Amino acid sequence: MPHSDAGFGALLFALLIATLTSATPLILAAMGGILSERAGVVNIALEGLILAGAFMGVAAGRTSAFVGLLAALLLGALLGAVHAFLTQKTRMNHVVSGLAITLLSAGGTRYLFQKLLRDGVGIEGLPQWFFIVLALLLPFAILGLLSNTRFGLRLRAVGENPTSARMAGIAAIPVRFVAVTLSGVCAALAGAFLSMSVAHRFSPDMSAGKGFIALAAVIFGKWHPLGAMVGALFFGFFDALQSQLQISHVHLVALGVEWTNPFLLDALPYLMTLAALVTLVGRATPPAALGLEDA
């Protein structure tokens, strides 16, 4: 049975599945990033939105996974709307607002976790394929939304040049509110995947920087939905590769360093993402009005 070809095939298959699993939350969150940033709103709140979605999916999903998912998406929408409010109505710096929301989610979920979920009882949750299929389809849906619908056109218009958009009768703030709220839904979906389908429980800090990596994927893909998906798969591949290397006990020592040590392998996807941003992508041009308050 363990013929070498079959072994290699099985390894490739395992790598593919692991890549998809690792990339799924990144793709979902990156689509949130695209919606928000193409409308001109910097969204480093993604990290916190993921965490909030992950928490709510489990906290509300004990009796029914569907209820949990719905609650997670609603919370994501709510926090997305808060980000829109802070940046558009109170003119807060987008990065500062994003940080505040991320901190609020980190502190809030940790607080409620200690209060409510300490028992650590797992939930049945939702099957992984559900989210994986969604992650593979969503980028195309977002692409269609951006390029073929009236709302998509308006979204891009307020992201590129709110002044011109206003001249054309499009008010930036309502469009951005919708875009950033939807962005929260996407990020919460990513969080729900992590807690409801992968871990089957919530743990504080389970977002583990995925919101920021999703943003890197957005930049990697030059703010194009399919490009961002490729960026997320790129990270997912190296993440999958490093865990496969850890499992397969490959041993590589050179220059007195054990390169295949789990800790160093852990750094691989981050290193590759950084390297990709530095070399492959070059200077990416963000949407012209990104981060600016509407004129």
Partner 1 sequence: MKQRLLERSGMLRPVLSVAVGLILAAAMMALSGYAPGEAFSALWTGATGLAAGPPMGTHDLAFGSGHIALFQMAQSFSKMTPLLFCGLAVALGLRAGLFNIGAQGQMTFGALAAAAIGMRTGIPAAVHVPLTLAVGAIAGAAWGALPGLLKARRGVHEVISTIMLNFIALDIANYLITHNLHDANSQNPQTPEIATSAILTPLIPHTALTHGLTLALLAALAVTALIRFTALGYAIRAVGLGAEAARASGIAVPRTLIVTMALSGALAGVAGAVEVMGVQHRYAVGIAASYGFDGIAVALLGGLGGLGVILSALFFGGLASGSSYMESLTNVPAPISVIIQAVIIAFVGMRPRPRATPTPAVPASTTPAPTPEPPAERKEANAAL
Q: Which residues bind partner 1 (CB under 8 A)?
A: 37, 42-44, 86, 89-97, 99-101, 103-104, 106-108, 110-112, 114-115, 160-161, 163-164, 167, 204, 209, 212-213, 215-216, 218-219, 256, 258, 261, 263-264, 266-267, 270-271, 273-274, 277-278, 282-284, 286, 288-293
Q: Please, what is the minimum distance in Å from the beta carbon of residue 103 to partner 1?
A: 4
d(CA 51, CA 192): 9
For every residue of 206-230, DSSP letters joined together read: TTTTHHHHHHHHHHHTTT-HHHHHH
What lies within 8 Å, CB to CB, of 276 at 6+ separation is: 220, 231, 234
d(CA 75, CA 28): 16
Q: Please, what is the minimum distance in Å from the beta carbon of residue 241 to partner 1?
A: 15
Instruction: Pick the closer one to partner 1 by CB: 89 or 251.
Output: 89
Instruction: Pick the closer one to partner 1 by CB: 124 or 205.
Output: 205
Instruction: Pick the closer one to partner 1 by CB: 8 or 91.
Output: 91
Q: What are the residues facing 254 on neighbouring strands?
A: 257
Of the candidates 18, 98, 71, 36, the one whose C-alpha atom is nearest the C-alpha of residue 195 is 71
**Tokens for 50?**
């993921």
**Tokens for 38?**
């193409």
d(CA 3, CA 253): 28
Q: What are the residues facing 258 on neighbouring strands?
A: 253
Q: Please, what is the minimum distance in Å from the beta carbon of residue 209 to partner 1?
A: 6
Q: Please, what is the minimum distance in Å from the beta carbon of residue 149 to partner 1?
A: 23
Instruction: Pick the closer one to partner 1 by CB: 7 or 262.
Output: 262
Instruction: Pick the closer one to partner 1 by CB: 71 or 213.
Output: 213
- For residues 55-86, one letter each, b for 16 or more C-beta atoms within 10 angstroms of the residue's C-beta and e for the rest, the string is bbbbbbbeeebeebbbbbbbbbbbbbbbbbbb
Q: Please, what is the minimum distance in Å from the beta carbon of residue 68 to partner 1?
A: 21
Q: Please, what is the minimum distance in Å from the beta carbon of residue 293 to partner 1?
A: 7
Instruction: Give yes or no for a contact between 50 and 188, defined as CB atoms under 8 angstroms apart.
Output: yes
134 phi and psi angles, rounded to 5 deg:
-60, -45
Instruction: Pick the closer one to partner 1 by CB: 114 or 149.
Output: 114
Q: Please, what is the minimum distance in Å from the beta carbon of residue 219 to partner 1?
A: 6
**Tokens for 154?**
């308006």
In which element (H, E) is residue 257 found?
strand 257-258
Q: Please, what is the minimum distance in Å from the beta carbon of residue 256 to partner 1?
A: 8
Instruction: Pick the closer one to partner 1 by CB: 125 or 184.
Output: 184
Instruction: Pick the closer one to partner 1 by CB: 86 or 145.
Output: 86
